[in-house]
Amino acid sequence: APASLILLFDSCTSTSVLLRLLCFAGNLRAWRPSAQVAEALRRKQDSLYCVLLDSSSQLHRKLPLLLSHPDEEVKSQVARLLT
């Protein structure tokens, strides 16, 4: 997954697209891979897992900005991801 995927997590992105992205990120975060699979995913810097969930992911800096989005559902999904 290209790192530019993070650019879609922006208030300028269509609300319907943003909601789908946030839902996908939430589902990916909820997934619990085995230790072996998680380690393999961490080694692949271009995996969706790393691009969206790694501790160095820029998504962690983008999400708080979306808490000021005018759509309540977006704010709710963002809050879920931040907790």
Mean pLDDT of 7-28: 96
- Model pTM greater than 0.85? no
DSSP 10: S
Q: Say how far residue 47 (Cα) sits from the centre of its chain.
A: 13
CB 4 within 8 A of CB 52: no
pLDDT (0 to 100) of residue 27: 92
pLDDT (0 to 100) of residue 1: 62
3-state secondary structure of 47: coil
- C-alpha to C-alpha distances, 52 to 7, 23, 44, 72, nearest whole angstrom: 11, 12, 12, 22
Q: Is the predicted pLDDT of residue 52 greater than 90, yes or no? A: no
